[in-house]
A = this chain, B = another copy of it.
Amino acid sequence: MNNAEQAWADARWRFIEAGGRTTQSFGLGRMIGQIYAFLYLSDEPRCLDDIADGLAVSKASVSIGVRQLEGWLAVRKIWIKGDRKDFYEAETDFGVILRSGLLDSLAKKLNTAGEQLALVESSVKEAAAGHNGDADGDHFRNIAKRLKEARKFHGKLNGLLNNPIVKRLL
């Protein structure tokens, strides 16, 4: 391998590692980013073994990671006739990934958070009702007020995530 080739191999590997660190920092695990980066730097589809070899990890890890990526539409399964292997290629349109994959899961998390808010809010209202006029009542009513604000913000965020203008910007 000559100098130029080595330089490219180095750059490529650093990019893959950076991808891994990035997804890691979002709590998605290292494999996800590494696999995606690997496929992103391939202009032709790759099979599981290619990926596993390329990243020096087990095929099992790749199998799991690839499935996750597929769920987010970050990666696409390619059928090559005459070959039994599953091939994968990276979705290069980040807008698709963001909209269909990541923002979706964000919206879901936001939703369960909202449910928890509603639960505790109704509970604190009940508590407040049971302490009408006394000092503890003030305590509960204060908290109820906060929770109401929180729910308002929750709605605002939800709206933003579904805002067509914002979506268009991606």
**A residues touching B (Cβ–Cβ < 8 Å)?**
4-5, 7-8, 10-12, 14-15, 18-19, 22, 24-28, 40-41, 43, 92, 94-95, 109, 112-113, 116-117, 119-120, 123-124, 126-127, 130, 139-140, 142-143, 146, 149-150, 153, 156-157, 159-160, 163, 165-166, 169-170
Interchain CB contact under 8 A, A8 and B127: yes
Interchain CB contact under 8 A, A43 and B139: yes
Interchain CB contact under 8 A, A7 and B116: no
Distance in Å: Cβ of A153 to nearest Cβ of chain B:
5
Distance in Å: Cβ of A18 to nearest Cβ of chain B:
4
Interchain CB contact under 8 A, A124 and B27: no
Q: CA–CA, A40 to B147, complex, Å?
A: 9
The interface residues of chain B lying within 8 Å CB-to-CB of A14 are 116, 119-120
Residue of B nearest to A141 (CB): B43
The interface residues of chain B lying within 8 Å CB-to-CB of A95 are 153
Q: A27-B27, A143-B43 known; A153 and B94 CB under 8 Å?
A: yes
